């Protein structure tokens, strides 16, 4: 097989995943990343004040993240994750105590049925009505998927007789967590696919897969090392400003600092807005370049961003004993106990090495997804919201004081999978024979996730390997 020279624009997970696959097969691969760090929207850094490793936002994975787990096995980091034996989520609510979805160790999907039946704290009537959604998951077809993509999640759940309570205590938590927007704004098809992928395979597919170290240690830096060890290169601080084309083929890229780099094949692994900018700088129309899985033409304006805010709090006392919990009837939706040894044992080693002063009792990471209405708030306003929410659901928070805090706003954390968008999410091939596309926004079948990004990179790499230079 001929070894190709490949340029990958973008060093996020989709670009790194493609580069890992290509380097493993001996192709000469160069990743160009505009920032001084790889990982894109998935990275961690050391907080100067505490010496703790913190993520740009807590990321949750699932047992059904097959491409991601394979990627971690290749780069040697799967041991840095913790897979629940069976799905278990603690819920914190201002007035209800002991709410827990804990699936018993039965075969899928019986484990889900068992979990729903044991979901005490909400009336049996509501738990039985949740089974109607479960029943829907057993059958799919093209026409069913097309019908689902016309509905938003709220409409679908109401059609399936889900009461306000069932939606609030279960489906909304899953929807906002997985699709990063409110049920009114996102396609029922996306939730249907997430639930099918998680609950219809093996039991472990629906288990949560937690990173036990900083995201850069689990998903990013070891990939860069793998690429370099296998003959590839990742150039940081290198923004691609244009691509040049001749006779329906891309021939080179131009970097911001004026370097022209030629290759045989090019992969764009940047988000939709970056791709749009790159093509318009190059005098190319994205509508004429992108291929969609339907008859509908590509339209970049239909992609809208959704935000995530992460609030890291270091408190003067321990207020949360669980490793993580979902919050209900609050603005904060998830809380992660970063001081828990089970969840983040390696950060403890890092802390011990780097910090000389007294250890702060508890480090929590709080998440607000679908956070458009909070994104312009000041750090102080967000900290007030965070402490008020904690005090509503955790009695011990009443006397807690903030020792240190970091707030990270990711305005364009993900695209929002609105109804109808599936029809125009780009295929990996384009109308240029040697230009391919990857990224969580492309036609992966998943919402904007680590799994979508890694899978898209793998698929694009497979197509590149089939590329004939005679094209």
Ligand X SMILES: Cc1cc2nc3c(=O)[nH]c(=O)nc-3n(C[C@H](O)[C@H](O)[C@H](O)COP(=O)(O)OP(=O)(O)OC[C@H]3O[C@@H](n4cnc5c(N)ncnc54)[C@H](O)[C@@H]3O)c2cc1C
Q: What DSSP assignment string belongs to 12-57?
A: BHHHHHHHHHHHHTT-EEEEE-SSSSSBTT--EEE-TTT--EEESS
Q: Per CB under 6 A, does 20 bind ligand X?
A: no
Nearer CB in complex with ligand X: 155/233: 233
Residue ranges in 292-311 that form contacts with ligand X under rule CB under 6 A: 308, 310
> Cβ contacts of residue 463 below 8 Å, gap of 6+?
428, 429, 436
Q: Per CB under 6 A, does 211 bind ligand X?
A: no
Residue ranges in 50-69 that form contacts with ligand X under rule CB under 6 A: 56-57, 59-61
> Which token pair is 130?
């949740």
Q: Which residues pair with 362 in a beta bridge?
A: 315
Instruction: Kindly state the smallest distance separating residue 147's Cβ from ligand X, in Å.
Output: 26
Is 325 within 8 Å of 335 (Cβ atoms)?
yes
Instruction: Kindly state the smallest distance separating residue 299's Cβ from ligand X, in Å.
Output: 19
Q: Per CB under 6 A, does 382 bind ligand X?
A: no
Residue 278 to residue 107: CA distance in whole angstroms:
48
Grouping H, G, I as helix, E, B as strand and the rest as coil, residue 111 is: helix
Q: How far is Cα of residue 362 from the mean position of the Cα atoms in its chain?
A: 26
Q: Per CB under 6 A, does 347 bind ligand X?
A: no
Q: Per CB under 6 A, does 435 bind ligand X?
A: no
Q: Per CB under 6 A, does 81 bind ligand X?
A: no
Q: Per CB under 6 A, does 325 bind ligand X?
A: no
Instruction: Kindly state the smallest distance separating residue 113's Cβ from ligand X, in Å.
Output: 26
Which range of residues in 90-98, 181-189, 224-232, 449-457 is near ligand X by CB under 6 A?
449-457
Which range of residues in 4-12, 337-345, 387-395, 399-407 is near ligand X by CB under 6 A?
4-12
> Cβ contacts of residue 460 below 8 Å, gap of 6+?
14, 18, 267, 269, 428, 436, 437, 438
Residue ranges in 219-258 that form contacts with ligand X under rule CB under 6 A: 239-240
Is 390 within 8 Å of 318 (Cβ atoms)?
no
Candidates 439, 444, 461, 464: give the one binding ligand X (CB under 6 A).
439
Where residue 329 falls (left for φ over 0; alpha for ψ -120 to 50; beta otherwise) is left
Nearer CB in complex with ligand X: 274/370: 274
Nearer CB in complex with ligand X: 65/467: 65
Q: Per CB under 6 A, does 444 bind ligand X?
A: no
C-beta atoms surrounding 153 within 10 Å: 29
Residue ranges in 26-45 that form contacts with ligand X under rule CB under 6 A: 32-35, 40-42
Interface residues toward ligand X, by CB under 6 A: 9-15, 32-35, 40-42, 56-57, 59-61, 239-240, 269-271, 274, 278, 308, 310, 410, 413-414, 439-440, 448-451, 453
């Amino acid at each position: 097989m001929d070894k190709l020279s490949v340029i990958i624009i973008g060093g996020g997970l989709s670009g790194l995943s493609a580069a890992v696959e290509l380097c493993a097969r001996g192709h000469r691969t160069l990743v160009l990343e505009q920032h001084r760090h790889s990982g894109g929207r998935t990275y961690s850094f050391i907080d100067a004040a505490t010496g703790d490793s913190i993520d740009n936002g807590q990321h949750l994975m699932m047992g059904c993240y097959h491409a991601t787990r394979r990627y971690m096995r290749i780069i040697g980091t799967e041991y840095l994750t913790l897979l629940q034996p069976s799905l278990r989520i603690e819920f914190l609510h201002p007035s209800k105590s002991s709410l827990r979805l804990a699936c018993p160790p039965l075969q899928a999907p019986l484990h889900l049925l068992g979990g729903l039946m044991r979901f005490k704290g909400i009336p049996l009537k509501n738990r039985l009505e949740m089974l109607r959604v479960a029943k829907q998951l057993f059958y799919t077809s093209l026409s069913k998927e097309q019908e689902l993509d016309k509905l938003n999640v709220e409409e679908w759940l109401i059609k399936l007789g889900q009461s306000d309570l069932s939606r609030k205590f279960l489906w909304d938590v899953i929807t906002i967590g997985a699709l990063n927007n409110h049920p009114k704004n996102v396609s029922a098809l996306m939730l249907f696919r997430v639930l099918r992928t998680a609950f219809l395979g093996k039991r472990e597919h629906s288990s949560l897969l937690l990173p036990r170290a900083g995201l850069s240690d689990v998903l990013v830096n070891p990939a860069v090392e793998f690429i370099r060890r296998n003959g590839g290169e990742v150039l940081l601080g290198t923004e691609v400003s244009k691509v040049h084309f001749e006779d329906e083929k891309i021939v080179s890229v131009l970097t911001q600092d004026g370097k022209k780099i030629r290759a045989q094949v090019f992969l764009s692994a940047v988000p939709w807005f970056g791709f749009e900018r790159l093509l318009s700088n190059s005098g190319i129309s994205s509508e004429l370049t992108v291929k969609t899985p339907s008859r509908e033409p590509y339209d970049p304006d239909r992609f809208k961003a959704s935000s995530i805010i992460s609030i890291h709090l270091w408190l003067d006392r321990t207020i949360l004993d669980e490793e993580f919990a979902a919050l209900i009837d609050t603005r904060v939706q998830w809380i992660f106990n970063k001081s828990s040894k089970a969840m983040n044992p390696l950060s403890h080693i890092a802390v011990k090495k780097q910090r000389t002063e007294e250890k702060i009792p508890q480090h929590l990471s709080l998440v607000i997804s679908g956070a458009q209405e909070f994104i312009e708030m000041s750090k102080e306003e967000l900290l007030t919201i965070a402490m008020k929410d904690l005090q509503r659901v955790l009695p011990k928070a009443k006397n807690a004081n903030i020792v240190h805090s970091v707030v990270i706003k990711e305005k364009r954390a993900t695209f929002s999978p609105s109804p109808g968008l599936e029809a125009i999410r780009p295929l990996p091939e384009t109308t240029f024979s040697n230009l391919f596309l990857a990224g969580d926004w492309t036609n992966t079948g998943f919402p904007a996730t680590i799994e979508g990004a890694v899978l898209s990179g793998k698929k694009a790499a497979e197509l590149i390997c089939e590329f004939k230079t005679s094209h």
